[in-house]
Amino acid sequence: MDSNGPIWYPFTQMKLADEPIHIVRGAGALLADKDGKLYIDAVSSWWTNIHGHSNPYIAQKLYEQSLQLEHVIFAGFTHTPALKLALRLLIHTEGHFSKVFYSDNGSTAVEVALKMALQFHSNAGVNKKRIVAFENSYHGDTFGSMSVSDRGAFSQPFHDKLFDVTFITPPLPGKEQESINQLTTFLANNDVAAFIYEPLVMGAGGMLMYQPEYLEQLIALAKSNGVICIADEVMTGFYRTGKIFASHYCETRPDIMCISKGITGGTMALGATLCATHIFEAFYSDDKMKALYHGHSYTANPLACTAANASLDIIEQAGFIDNVISITSIQSDFAERLKTFVTATTKEVTNIRQHGTILAFDVVTPHQTGYFNELRDEMYRFFIGNGVLLRPLGNTVYIMPPYCINVEQMVKIHAVILAYLAQP
Ligand SMILES: Cc1ncc(COP(=O)(O)O)c(C=O)c1O
């Protein structure tokens, strides 16, 4: 039997895994383990953290709120942190949405979006059920969000239980027209209910990136055919790509947007699904059967909403965007350096790509690429051993730091990556 203690960890083959690192403290971009070793959190702890760990401002607001109201049922009751946050989210999305539906993580934000889209048509008595998504997409681990994610090794045991989805090629460089042609073909059947996509950066599928002009064309095409467009901004939201939402690089906006992760600055679990007026109106009826019957015990938890309001306070401060711009520029310089970095033993890198603060590249390997590529564990251990938390996706290395990171810490992350690449 195993000797790993009482916890079954996520995304982990418990028999093969190294002992987990026991973290006792976090401050800014740093994490400290029980032996006092420091790690730079170059992946923002699963892409959640934006203002640094144990942010004192968010912590103070949480403390004050927890003395006032820690939680309350969210049906038949409401509270100020949720009301305030909803109004602020609607403003930050530039008036394209009119309602916020709360849940408690990214997968549930996606579940809610899918239910909104499917029931929108069903409430109108329209028989449209097909959902279109991108190959290589990832939208979460619950059954609905797994269904709209590309089929892969993680979901393999459940494939016969996932609902049918039509996958199209994403508009990656060189594949733009193929993507548009495929969507055009499927739209001709007139049975597509919704199109769900990760705007500009497809995270877990390998930090794949594409340009806004092609997303614009896909959304416009879908919308002109009465298809509900769902932007999954769970990872891209809150300035990862340089703007508060990646969708803001396009003029044509989605009907529904899913957000989570960075929403609370990375402090508390919270999800939100924003929808445009016409979506909400399809549910607004004297008929009780047209309501959206969905909710979770911790929906709109007041502490989580307070953390999100505190995070927006920081975002709205003058000077916040300067950090995003500075990280973007440091990452661009590193991308240039990577292109020309050569030593006697340098490993070859390819597909160097960047959107805003996110930089990714692939290490060339003779073996099959993808999540289970053998370089992954080697690179992870090297980076951790050198005090940098980077979690390559197979042979893909990416950097997604919190915005409070300083120049020296960025320089260290880049230096550790170059040291790995220069290894024989
Ligand atoms: C684009 C996207 N959607 C949804 C999710 C699922 O979010 P959660 O892990 O909070 O359920 C993720 C998680 O990585 C994601 O990247």
- pLDDT tens for 272-283 read 999 999 999 999
Q: What distance in angstroms lies between residue 359's CA and the mean position of ligand 1's atoms?
A: 19
Closest-lying ligand 1 atom to the alpha carbon of residue 260: 10
Pocket test for ligand 1, best of 235, 256, 258, 259 (most atoms within 8 A of CB): 235
Angle at 403 between CA 331 and CA 249, to 5 degrees: 70
Check if 204 has its Cβ closer than 6 Å to any atom of ligand 1.
Answer: yes
User: Tell me, what's the pLDDT at 424?
Assistant: 87
What is the arithmetic mean of pLDDT over 368-382? 84
Counting residues of the chain whose pLDDT is more than 70, the rounded percentage is: 98
Check if 111 has its Cβ closer than 6 Å to any atom of ligand 1.
Answer: no
Over the stretch 195-229, which tens digit does the pLDDT of each residue have? 999 999 999 999 999 999 999 999 999 999 999 99
User: Tell me, what's the pLDDT at 345?
Assistant: 87
Check if 282 has its Cβ closer than 6 Å to any atom of ligand 1.
Answer: no
Rounded Cα gap, residues 298 and 293, in angstroms:
15
User: Tell me, what's the pLDDT at 138?
Assistant: 98
pLDDT band at 329 (very low <50, low <70, confident <90, very high): very high
Q: Could you give the dihedral angle defined by the CA atoms of residues 258, 112, 265 and 154, in that order, rounded to the nearest 10 degrees? A: -90
Rounded Cα gap, residues 109 and 184, in angstroms:
27
Structure tokens at 134: 């991108």
Structure tokens at 215: 């997303």
pLDDT band at 1 (very low <50, low <70, confident <90, very high): low
Check if 228 has its Cβ closer than 6 Å to any atom of ligand 1.
Answer: no
Dihedral sign computed on CA atoms, order 74, 80, 82, 83: positive
Q: Are 180 and 221 in contact (CB under 8 A)?
A: yes
Select from 147, 142, 66 the least CA-distant residue to 294.
142
Judged against a pLDDT cut of 80, whether residue 125 lies above it is answered with: yes
Task: Please give the domain boundaries of the chain with CATH numbers for all domains.
Answer: 23-54+319-422 (3.90.1150.10), 58-316 (3.40.640.10)
User: Tell me, what's the pLDDT at 366?
Assistant: 82
User: Tell me, what's the pLDDT at 399?
Assistant: 98
CB atoms within 10 A of CB 119: 20
Least confident range from 293-307, 366-380, 385-399: namely: 366-380
Give the pTM.
Answer: 0.97
What is the arithmetic mean of pLDDT over 48-67? 98
Check if 270 has its Cβ closer than 6 Å to any atom of ligand 1.
Answer: no
User: Tell me, what's the pLDDT at 2?
Assistant: 63
- What are the beta bridge partners of residue 99? 275
pLDDT band at 143 (very low <50, low <70, confident <90, very high): very high
What lies within 8 Å, CB to CB, of 157 at 6+ separation is none
Judged against a pLDDT cut of 60, whether residue 262 lies above it is answered with: yes
Judged against a pLDDT cut of 90, whether residue 30 lies above it is answered with: yes
Distance of CA 402 to the CA centre of its chain: 14
What is the arithmetic mean of pLDDT over 303-310? 98
What is the arithmetic mean of pLDDT over 186-195? 97
